[in-house]
Structure formats: structure tokens, C-alpha cells
Amino acid sequence: MELDIDTATGNRSRTEDTPAPPADVSRASLRRPWWRRWGTGWLFPAHRRAAAAEPPASSASSLLRRRHRGRRFSPLTRRVLLLNMLPIALLAAGVVFLGDYEDTLIEAELAALTVHGEIVATGLGEGAVRGGETTINRLDRDHANQLMARLTAPIGIRGRLFAETGEMLGDTRTLRDRAGRITSQPLPPPNAAPAQRGVLTRISDWIDARLRVARSDGEYIELPDPVARDYPWVEQALRGINTRTARRTPDGRLMLSVAVPVQRYKQVLGALMLTHDDAAIAARIRQVRLDVFRIAAVALAATVLLSLFLASTIARPIQRLARAADQIRFAREGTPRMPNFGARNDEIGDLADSLRAMTDALWQRIDAIDTFAADVAHELKNPLTSLRSAVEVAARIDDKEKRAKLMEIVLDDVKRLDRLISDIADSSRLDAELLRSDPQIVDVGRLLSSMADAYNATAAAEVGVRVQLNVLGSGTFLALGHEGRYGQVFRNIVDNGISFSPQGGNISIGLMRERDQVVVTIDDQGSGIPDANLESIFRRFYSERPNAEQFGKHSGLGLSICRQIVDAYGGSIAAGNLRLPDGQVQGARFTLRLPMAS
């Protein structure tokens, strides 16, 4: 079965046959900066290109190929990856800025230097001073230098001693020990290559060199022959105040310094300055960064794998649904179906079930439209054929009586066509009308009572048929629907019963409740319905009349419209026969079950 879809054939999209854009446009797009040419298009494709025009139906297969060939990675997968990787990236980036942690380490190191400086200063004040309580006390240069070297050597810090006059008395880097040997540190050869380091270590060093946020009180300059005034914190120590500072060297290192007064009998005899670089602090921060980077790398790998798995469970089913929808859209033969994901028990499964139900309903509607069109063509052909024959014969005869009879036939056929077209139009617009309006509460008891009174006063009285309403139960009988449409259903069935009932017959309408339904039965006293046709009578254009005079007066759509209305409201309608104890048919019964309004 072919589907003629206007939107699939009415528009055009650029395919291989469509000429390429002008060369100047392409060059202009290439001249744009990369951030404007790409922007966020890799993440949000809608920013990068507009929606493609509707392709022609002849290019259905090429559309399906391009839909999946044009995407190297699913946009949904990219978004899932980005959103899951972003927290880990922020964690890895945030650990670079360890300002608070570094300040804590610096404060702890300065406090330790201060304590050690106080110990060394106390030792110098007690063991390296010449003089007594009644004489002028002076630091013994040689003894003080030896003692300072011994007390600072175990922790590897540099010590410098300044006299109260400001001159430097000694520096542990140039002092001799008791054996006369000079302390030294081995240096690498001038052109020696640096030791190979790992990638993470080099990355950490590069980050550390550019993003160190350690506190700095100023610049530290190494002087060849310094005095106390070259170091403000040493001058503070000569006034009897412990001072500490952290300053940057020209090569980027942080030099930690403390200055402690050397006293005896509360007399300041000099100042001791201890200095130490931040190599240990930098190593600890580097280790923290490396640990966090390793954890982030493992977490990132796990996140990528889990994100790809998660995206595949979402993107692939959606791609399959989109591909199936395209196949259904461009179907020319057969009835393609949506893939079944109902076993997933999640939103994708719900979407697949809904799409399957929707496509099934669409195919049923298309089949119904095709069938209805064929039935309409067939039903319209009969009266038109009769009309053409009557007109052709009337044109060839001169007998007025025969011509009058032919004109009566033409008039009957015209009336039949008018009735048929009216019923067809009502049936065709019924579905759209029922879908556009919401069900309302209808008082079925009041509707049937008014209808029975109207029939007894007019139509039924003309043919000698009485319409009787029998209500079982008390209270109101409320159903969901529309009063006008329910009235149309009841009238169609009652009219049908009157046409089959004999002179002086009776149409009995029963009204009752049954669980959550309002049940209406309509009985007549006609010849009944053949058992083989109890379901066929609800088909479109089906009509079977025992009286030949009634041929052509009914379109065969009345009962079909009744079922269409009742089904739309969630009810049901069925036909049966009333039988005597001996099995003889006494008449027909139509049973309607309508949804009760809560």
C-alpha cells in the first residue's frame, strides 16, 4: 500500500543533484575564526546548522544513509560525556589552587624555624658570650660560629649571625668545623642533562611554576656581604623581637626566614637569622597534586566508560526508533513496525510502546480510509448508474406516463444520493469532532424520557408504533459523553426498530445500572436479525430489508455511526434477538453499555 504524503514530496532538500553553494560563501565560512565556526556546535548541533529541508520521497534511502553517516558521534553521547566529565575536570582543576593548604604548610614551617632559632639563640647566649654580669658582654665570633654550625647542621638549614652593630659574624655555608674542613654541597656538571622525570611530575612542575599561590612578603635577594640593615626582619630581631617572613627569590623559589635575638641577661648581643627554601613544601604539594591527578584519571576513565554505556542504552534505541519512523514514513509496500523495547521497563520502553501503538492506529486508520473510500465509490456508483439509465431512456421515449415514471425514479435516486452523501459527510467528520471535544456528563434517563415522549407524539404515532421507557432503579443515570451524540445513537436504533416493527407494535427501552456502566436496551417486535449477521449489521453500507419497497431509503451507515460514537466514549454496542421459550424469534434487541460518570 502506498502512502501519498504531501510533506514528503512537496519540499526539496539539497542532495547530490543540487548544486553546491557559491565558492565565495564557502571561502567566507572558512575565513571565520575557529571559535565562531565551531562554537558550541559540537555540543548543541542546533547552533551549528539549521533543520534540514523536507526531502523528496524518492530520496528516502539516501536520507536514512545520510542521517547516520553524517554523525561521527551521537550528540546525545557527547552531552552525557561532557556533563559527567565536568565535575571530575573541575576537581582536577581546583586541586591546582592549593592556597590554603600551602599557607598552612608555610606557617608550620616558619613556626618550626622560629622554635629552632630560639633554641640556637639560647645556646649562643649561654655558651658563646665573653663577659659577665658586671662587664660588657660580647659574642665570641669563633665560638659562636662553631656552635651555630653544629646546632643547624642536623636539620639542614642555613644560619647567619649578626652582631649588635649590624655586621655579619658568620654564615654556616662558609664556616669551618672543628677539623678545619669546609662544608660543601656537590653540584651537577655544567652541561649535565637533567634526570628524566615522569609526565605527571613535569606537568605538576609546570603548573607549580605558574600557579603557585604561596604567600610572599616581598623579594628575597642574596647579597655577597650583607649587613643587618639589608634584612628588615634582622633589624627587628636586634630590637628584641622574633620576626619571620616568606619571600620570593628571582628564580621563583620561596625563601622562609626567621630572625631571633641572641640575648644574655636580657641584653641583645646579636641576631640569628635562619633561612630555608620551600623545597619540602613544594614536594608535598606536588605529591598531593599527583595523587589527585591519578585519582581523577582513574575516575575519568571509569566515567567515560560508564557514560558511553549509559549513552548507548539511550542513543541507540532512539536512533533505531528514528530509523524505523523514517522507514514507516517512506513506506511504499508492506507495513513496517516500530522495534519492540517493551522489555526495558523504562521511559525508552514506554516511548517504544507508545510509538508502536501510534503506528498501529495510523495503519488501521489508513486501511479504514481506503476501505471507506472504496465503499463510498461503490455505493455512489449504484444510484448514479440508475440515474444515467433513467435519463437515457427518458430522452428516447415520447410516452408521457412512462416518462413521468422515469422522472420519479430519477427523483428517488437523487434523494438517495443526497441522503447517502449527508450520511457519508456525517460519518467522515465524526471522528474529528469526537477527538476535539472533551466528554461531558449526560443524564441518560432524562434524555430517553424526552425522546420517548417525542416519538409517541409524532413519528411513532404515524405508523402506529408505541415507544415505552422502563427504568430499573432509582436516582439519576449519568454517563460520560455528549447528549447530542447519544441522542443520535438512540434515535438511529429506535428508527431502525420502528421500520421493522409491525402496525401496532411496541418499542421497549430499558434503563439500568450495572457496575460502573449505564445499560440501555432497545427491543422491537420485528423479524429479528439473522444470527450470521449480528456483527455484520455494524459495517458501513450494510443494509438488509425484508420489504423491497424500503430499498434505497437507508444508506447503511446508521448502525456503523452508532458503534463509532459509542466506541469513542469507551462504551460498547451489541445486537441480539429476543426468543420465545420454543426458540421462535420475537424481535431484535440492541444493548448499549455506556461509561458511568463518577
Q: Which phi-psi region, left, alpha or beta, contains residue 418 (left: φ > 0; alpha: ψ -120 to 50)? A: alpha
Q: How far is CA 593 from CA 251, 470, 486, 517, in A?
A: 94, 16, 12, 6
Pairing between strand 506-514 and 466-471? parallel
Tell me how far apart the alpha carbons of residues 65 and 555 are, in angstroms, rounded to a whole number: 50
In this predicted model, which residue has the larger pLDDT, 445 or 22?
445
Tell me how far apart the alpha carbons of residues 330 and 322 are, in angstroms, rounded to a whole number: 12
Closest CA to 237 of 270, 197, 265, 192: 270
Residue 148 is assigned to a structural domain of this protein: yes
Residue 359, domain CATH: 1.10.287.130
Grid cell of 92 as nine digits: 582536577
Q: Does 432 share its domain with 443? A: no
Residue 69: partners with Cβ closer than 8 Å, 6 or more residues away:
none
Pairing between strand 440-443 and 478-481? antiparallel
Grid cell of 510 as nine digits: 430499558
Tell me the pLDDT tens digit for each residue of 523-545: 998 888 888 888 888 887 666 65
Residue 465, domain CATH: 3.30.565.10
* Boundary (domain end) residue, out of 222, 257, 290: 290
Residue 383 is assigned to a structural domain of this protein: yes
Tell me how far apart the alpha carbons of residues 91 and 372 are, in angstroms, rounded to a whole number: 66
Average pLDDT over residues 294-318: 83
In this predicted model, which residue has the larger pLDDT, 107 or 403?
107
Tell me the pLDDT tens digit for each residue of 411-433: 877 877 777 777 777 766 666 66
C-alpha radius of gyration, the chain, whole number: 51
In this predicted model, which residue has the larger pLDDT, 508 or 47?
508
Tell me how far apart the alpha carbons of residues 110 and 280 are, in angstroms, rounded to a whole number: 13
Grid cell of 486 as nine digits: 447519544
pLDDT for 243: 94
Q: Does 468 share its domain with 513? A: yes
Residue 23 is assigned to a structural domain of this protein: yes
Can you give 108-163 as a three-state secondary structure string?
A: HHHHHHHHHHHHHHHHHHHHCEECCCCCCCEECHHHHHHHHHHHHHHHCCEEEEEE
Is the CB of residue 11 less than 8 Å from the CB of residue 53? yes
Average pLDDT over residues 497-518: 88
Residue 186 is assigned to a structural domain of this protein: no
Residue 192 is assigned to a structural domain of this protein: no
Amino acid letter, 227 = V
Average pLDDT over residues 32-61: 47
Range of the domain at 523: 438-598
The total of structural domains in the chain comes to 4
Amino acid letter, 208 = D
* Boundary (domain end) residue, out of 257, 290, 323: 290
- Indicate if the pLDDT at residue 354 is higher than 80: yes
The residue written with cell numbers 659562636 in the block is: 144
Helices vs. strands in the chain: H and E counts, helices first: 16, 14
Residue 578 is assigned to a structural domain of this protein: yes
